A and B are shown apart, each in its own frame.
Chain A
Amino acid sequence: MSEKEFGQKWDRCLADCAVKFGTGLGLGIVFSVVFFKRRTWPIVFGTGLGLGMAYSNCQNDLRSRYVLHSKVAKEQ
């Protein structure tokens, strides 16, 4: 059903968002603790990174129908 597809996409999106957020946060904490002397900015940076990736993935997924695929024709 085409109407269900929309909902499925959103589910994937949110799940992906959560995963990436968590991963970003975690990695940020790790890096902050290990390399950057417990500063805040790596955490924020990591989180932002994660959210950004999730946003981008979500958008691409929702856009996937409208993207035009092209191939470079081989010269003969």
Chain B
Amino acid sequence: MEGRDLAGEKFRKFPHTNAANPCLLRCFYQCVCGKVKAHPLQLCRRYSTAGDSGSTAGKIVAASLLTVGGGLGGTILYAKWDPKFRANVEKSVPYSDQLFEMALGPPPPPLVTLQKKPGKIEPLQISSLSEASKESKQPKAKAKKSDPAPVEAPAAVEEAPAPTPQTLKDEECKDHHEPVLKERPAEEVTARLAQQDKAEQDALAALTAGLEESLGSTAKTTLQAIGAQEAALTAIAAHTNKLKEAMDSQTPPDEKSSQWKALNEALSERTRAMEEAEEALLKAKGELENLSGVINSSKQSKINTARPQILAAEENLHSMIVDLDKVVTKVQTAQTEAKIVSQYSELVNEAKAQFQQELANITPEIQANWKRLSGKLSADDLNSLIAHAHRRIDQLNRELAEQRVREQIHIEVALEQQKLEDQKALERAVVSALEHSREDMRLEQEKKAQEVREVMEAEMRTQLRRQAAAHTDHLRDVLKVQEQELREEAQEILNSKMMEQETHYRRLTQEQLDTFTLDMNAAYARLKGIEEAIDSHVIAEEEARKAHQLWLSVEALNYTLKSAGADFPTEPLEGAVGVIKENCAGNEFAQALATAIPEESLSRGIYSEASLRARFFDIRRLARRVALIDETRNSLYQYFLSYLQSVLLFEREQVAPPAKLAPEDLDTFKLLAYANYSIERGDLELAAKFVNQLRGESQRVAQDWLKEARLTLETKQVISLLSAYANAVGLGTTQAP
């Protein structure tokens, strides 16, 4: 039963040894299950310990190596995965950081939040600052470069209100050479401004001249074109009228030819007029293109003051275009009308020719001049003619009937065609009207923009004027303040100089007075000194007497100390101390010292050093015996141990104490050895110090001795002080012969 319990306890305490002893392990499990009795366990143990001692050691070594290696490998792998763990391990285990560096490489750098760089803000700030000093900088920079053409200067100045940051930065880089912005003299600025204005004016004049020129020419050509178109129009109308008249066959034949001639003339006239109109139109269109080109270029030159002129020119252009278009449409409508009429006339002519042909076919003999038909024609001819005429009439009636039938269809078709044409015309008209209206809107917009711009410019001018006024006011104020300050400064300087002179004069007078007073005082002091010397002599003698008495009483006290015996204390020191007190009633130091003597010594007396020495041996022995005892260790067994220690510990009885006390010197035995040494050499004070360092029971045992030693030391100290004092006083008061 015991064997089983022991085995169980063993395995509970040392689980790692199971690998080393498989037989035992098996036995353990079997024991836990409670199947096997104790004896086979003992046998097993004996067999196993006899046989496999060699291989079990090897197995132990192998198992331990495996665990250590596994632990290291696992740590390294985890450190690779988790940098925080790595840092922790590096901190806690001394050389792990080197191992990690070897295995994994340097640790990953810690993440630092990137701070947003406010660098970009600076150039913008600089640009905004330099905006304020734009006017002075721009001309200056321009002065550095060669003077550009006057046209470009105003253009550049015009562009100044809207510079790109890029050009500004370039200028900044250039201006680094002169970081200080000198203020240009006013004349130069005004000259430059005047120059710029003049240049602007010139450009403007040139521009307006150009514009007007082109406008004039365009207007002329347009008017010409319009006139030509209108002429063409009238020609067309005349021609059409003439044609209509010619068609109308109610005129007598004589006038027909003249009519036809006139018609031809009118036709030629019309064609000529049309050609002229075309030419003029082309020219006008060309001129209009020119004008628009000029307007565009002048727009691009961006001179603000020219804007109204540009706008007016544009308006004119637009109106001219509109007029031209109107006239052209009129001409076109007239043309279509004329076409209709000409078509009609053609048709009529055709019909007539056909009829004549038919007639000629029927009555070949009859000549074309069928107006003289009635005289020459016979009855047959007339009949045939009439028959033909009737036939013709029938035919025509039939045709008419057919025509009437087809009329509807034709009319519909014609209507459709007309609709299509109308639509096309409408679209064209709508498009052109739209374009015109768009153009109108654009012009209006530009006019409005122009007006707004003017208003803004006027406002800006007033603000600038105000700013200039404020600036002059400010300057005035600053100047006033400066004047005040300077005046005050001057006044102060004057005052200080005056004061200096006065003090100097006063000092001189004072010095004179002082020297006189000094001489007087010196003489008086000497007189006083002599008197005092005489007095002090008297006092000194008195003091000498007192000192003598004090010394005598201190000697008496010293003598009483010698009355100590081996084991009993001295006489009480009361008497001697009382005498001292009487003798040095006026002396505070001696009084203080006399009262400093402890009560115990006065009433009971003190032990001599020799008795204390003798007592110390007993104390030492006892302290050694109870060295081990303190608050925690104070059973009887500890007492026995302490005694045993004191008996068995061999050491030197006296050991010289070191200059400095180290903590290991605070051992009871050492302390007692030091104290022994000191007391043998007569140094009670040092011995008492060492004994004071005892702790525990040793301290309690030595308590009384320590108290006595303290008392003795105190009293002796006071007495030695008193005697030293008495000696000193005596020495001080004795006069050398």
Decide if B619 is an interface residue (CB 8 Å cutoff).
yes
Interface residues of B in 679-704 (CB under 8 A from A): 700-704
Interface residues of B in 634-671 (CB under 8 A from A): 634-636, 639
How far apart are A5's CB and chain B's nearest CB, in angstroms? 8
B636 touches A6 (CB 8 A): no
Interface residues of A in 55-76 (CB under 8 A from B): 55, 58-59, 62-63, 65-66
Decide if B248 is an interface residue (CB 8 Å cutoff).
no
> Binary interface profile of B, 475-489, with partner A (CB < 8 Å = 1, else 0)?
000000000000000
How far apart are B569's CB and chain A's nearest CB, in angstroms? 13
Q: From A3, A58, A62, give the contact of B705 (CB < 8 A).
A: A3
How far apart are A11's CB and chain B's nearest CB, in angstroms? 14
A3 touches B701 (CB 8 A): yes
Interface residues of A in 16-50 (CB under 8 A from B): none
Q: From A1, A2, A62, give the contact of B634 (CB < 8 A).
A: A62
In whole angstroms, what is the CA distance A1 to B626 when docked? Answer: 16
Chain B interface residue count, Cβ-Cβ cutoff 8 angstroms: 16
Contacts of A1 in B (CB 8 A): 704
Chain A interface residue count, Cβ-Cβ cutoff 8 angstroms: 11
In whole angstroms, what is the CA distance A61 to B93 when docked? Answer: 53
Decide if B170 is an interface residue (CB 8 Å cutoff).
no
In whole angstroms, what is the CA distance A55 to B156 when docked? Answer: 120
In whole angstroms, what is the CA distance A3 to B708 when docked? Answer: 13
Contacts of B703 in A (CB 8 A): 2
- Identify which of A1, A3, A58, A66 gathers the most chain B CB atoms within 10 Å of its CB: A3
Q: From B630, B634, B635, B704, give the contact of A3 (CB < 8 A).
A: B704
How far apart are B646's CB and chain A's nearest CB, in angstroms? 13
> Binary interface profile of B, 374-390, with partner A (CB < 8 Å = 1, else 0)?
00000000000000000
Contacts of A66 in B (CB 8 A): 630-631, 634
Decide if B618 is an interface residue (CB 8 Å cutoff).
yes
B636 touches A3 (CB 8 A): no
Contacts of A63 in B (CB 8 A): 634-635
Contacts of B618 in A (CB 8 A): 3
- Identify which of A2, A6, A58 gathers the most chain B CB atoms within 10 Å of its CB: A2
Contacts of B359 in A (CB 8 A): none
Decide if B622 is an interface residue (CB 8 Å cutoff).
yes
How far apart are B316's CB and chain A's nearest CB, in angstroms? 117
A3 touches B639 (CB 8 A): no
In whole angstroms, what is the CA distance A23 to B202 when docked? Answer: 148
In whole angstroms, what is the CA distance A59 to B704 when docked? Answer: 23
In whole angstroms, what is the CA distance A22 to B705 when docked? Answer: 38
Q: From A2, A58, A62, give the contact of B704 (CB < 8 A).
A: A2
Contacts of B701 in A (CB 8 A): 2-3, 6
- Identify which of B619, B701, B702 gathers the most chain A CB atoms within 10 Å of its CB: B701
> Binary interface profile of B, 594-632, with partner A (CB < 8 Å = 1, else 0)?
000000000000000000000000110010001000110
A55 touches B636 (CB 8 A): yes
Contacts of A62 in B (CB 8 A): 634, 636, 639
In whole angstroms, what is the CA distance A59 to B701 when docked? Answer: 17
B626 touches A3 (CB 8 A): no
Residue of A whose beta carbon sits closest to that of B696:
A66
B635 touches A59 (CB 8 A): yes
Q: Interface SS of chain B: helix, strand, loop or mixed?
A: helix
B631 touches A3 (CB 8 A): no
Residue of B whose beta carbon sits closest to that of A58:
B636
Contacts of B636 in A (CB 8 A): 55, 58-59, 62
Q: From B626, B630, B631, B634, give the contact of A6 (CB < 8 A).
A: B626
B639 touches A2 (CB 8 A): no
B700 touches A2 (CB 8 A): yes
How far apart are B322's CB and chain A's nearest CB, in angstroms? 118
Contacts of B700 in A (CB 8 A): 2, 65
How far apart are A9's CB and chain B's nearest CB, in angstroms? 10
Residue of A whose beta carbon sits closest to that of B639:
A62
In whole angstroms, what is the CA distance A5 to B699 when docked? Answer: 13
Contacts of B630 in A (CB 8 A): 66
Interface residues of B in 701-728 (CB under 8 A from A): 701-705
In whole angstroms, what is the CA distance A55 to B639 when docked? Answer: 12
Interface residues of B in 451-506 (CB under 8 A from A): none
Contacts of A55 in B (CB 8 A): 636
In whole angstroms, what is the CA distance A6 to B705 when docked? Answer: 14
In whole angstroms, what is the CA distance A65 to B697 when docked? Answer: 10
Residue of A whose beta carbon sits closest to that of B630:
A66
In whole angstroms, what is the CA distance A2 to B639 when docked? Answer: 17
In whole angstroms, what is the CA distance A58 to B606 when docked? Answer: 36
In whole angstroms, what is the CA distance A3 to B621 when docked? Answer: 10
Contacts of B635 in A (CB 8 A): 59, 63
In whole angstroms, what is the CA distance A59 to B634 when docked? Answer: 8
Contacts of B705 in A (CB 8 A): 2-3
Residue of B whose beta carbon sits closest to that of A1:
B704
Contacts of A3 in B (CB 8 A): 618-619, 622, 701-702, 704-705
In whole angstroms, what is the CA distance A58 to B636 when docked? Answer: 8
How far apart are A67's CB and chain B's nearest CB, in angstroms? 9
Residue of A whose beta carbon sits closest to that of B629:
A62
B639 touches A6 (CB 8 A): no
Residue of A whose beta carbon sits closest to that of B619:
A3
In whole angstroms, what is the CA distance A65 to B636 when docked? Answer: 14
In whole angstroms, what is the CA distance A63 to B636 when docked? Answer: 9
A6 touches B622 (CB 8 A): yes
Residue of B whose beta carbon sits closest to that of A56:
B636
In whole angstroms, what is the CA distance A62 to B633 when docked? Answer: 11
Contacts of A65 in B (CB 8 A): 700
In whole angstroms, what is the CA distance A66 to B634 when docked? Answer: 8
In whole angstroms, what is the CA distance A55 to B640 when docked? Answer: 13
In whole angstroms, what is the CA distance A2 to B694 when docked? Answer: 14
Contacts of B631 in A (CB 8 A): 66
Residue of B whose beta carbon sits closest to that of A10:
B639
In whole angstroms, what is the CA distance A62 to B630 when docked? Answer: 11
How far apart are B692's CB and chain A's nearest CB, in angstroms? 14
How far apart are A54's CB and chain B's nearest CB, in angstroms? 10
Residue of A whose beta carbon sits closest to that of B637:
A59
How far apart are A70's CB and chain B's nearest CB, in angstroms? 16
How far apart are A18's CB and chain B's nearest CB, in angstroms? 16
Contacts of B639 in A (CB 8 A): 62
How far apart are B635's CB and chain A's nearest CB, in angstroms? 6
In whole angstroms, what is the CA distance A55 to B631 when docked? Answer: 19
How far apart are A60's CB and chain B's nearest CB, in angstroms? 10
Residue of A whose beta carbon sits closest to that of B706:
A2
In whole angstroms, what is the CA distance A3 to B631 when docked? Answer: 18
How far apart are B668's CB and chain A's nearest CB, in angstroms? 15
How far apart are B317's CB and chain A's nearest CB, in angstroms? 116
Residue of A whose beta carbon sits closest to that of B626:
A6
How far apart are A15's CB and chain B's nearest CB, in angstroms? 16
How far apart are B708's CB and chain A's nearest CB, in angstroms? 9
Residue of A whose beta carbon sits closest to that of B631:
A66
Contacts of B622 in A (CB 8 A): 3, 6
B interface, CB within 8 angstroms of A: 618-619, 622, 626, 630-631, 634-636, 639, 700-705
A-B contact pairs, 9 of them (CB 8 A): A1-B704, A2-B702, A3-B619, A3-B701, A3-B705, A59-B635, A62-B634, A62-B639, A63-B635
Interface pairs A-B: 8 shortest CB-CB: A2-B704, A2-B703, A59-B636, A66-B631, A63-B634, A1-B704, A3-B622, A3-B701
Additional 6 contacts, C-beta under 8 A, given A3-B701, A62-B639: A2-B704, A3-B619, A58-B636, A63-B634, A63-B635, A65-B700
